[in-house]
Amino acid sequence: MTSSQLDKMRLELRRGVLVLAVLASLKQPHYGYSLRKQLQDRGIDIDEGTLYPLVRRLAEQGLLDSEWQQAEGRERRYYLLSEQGKELLAQLTDEWLQLNSALAPLLTENKELSQNPEQNQSGETE
């Protein structure tokens, strides 16, 4: 597989998950940079070119409430999960957990298979 194929598939895989991560992070109010920092601290690296437009899109869909505030001598737009966003997050979380519990054994099996190919082959011939 070429690196461009890998990049494309990674992007597709991450696209839906990022929405979930952003919604989950915005249970507490955050402005753009602090949200990015929080996601980075949790191991989700997301570039600003993806994150800021995504947050705006979610706000336009009514999933986030936003408010401009003055802090540290600078204005910042703070985002917080709206009521509609909370409902959607709960539904998406259930969906994700269900998907993950189904996917995890599948991926574990696959990993074991690729780590011990000889053992598995001899097992099959027996």
Per DSSP, 2 falls in state -
- Among the candidate windows 22-30, 68-76, 98-106, 118-126, which touches other proteins by CB under 8 A? 68-76
In the bound state with other proteins, the residue whose beta carbon lies nearer, of 74 and 126, is: 74
Among 2, 5, 49, 102, binds other proteins (CB under 8 A): 49
User: Of how many residues is the chain composed?
Assistant: 126
By CB under 8 A, tell whether 38 contacts other proteins. no
By CB under 8 A, tell whether 77 contacts other proteins. yes
- Among the candidate windows 8-16, 30-38, 84-92, 116-124, which touches other proteins by CB under 8 A? 30-38
**26 exposure class (CB count in 10 Å sphere: 0-12, 13-18, 19+):** buried
- Pick from 19, 95, 93: which is nearest to 59 by CA? 19
Instruction: Report the C-alpha gap between 120 and 31 in whole angstroms.
Output: 51
By CB under 8 A, tell whether 15 contacts other proteins. no
By CB under 8 A, tell whether 32 contacts other proteins. yes
83's tokens: 């009521």
Name the minimum Å distance from CB 36 to other proteins: 8
Cβ atoms 34, 74 nearer than 8 A? no
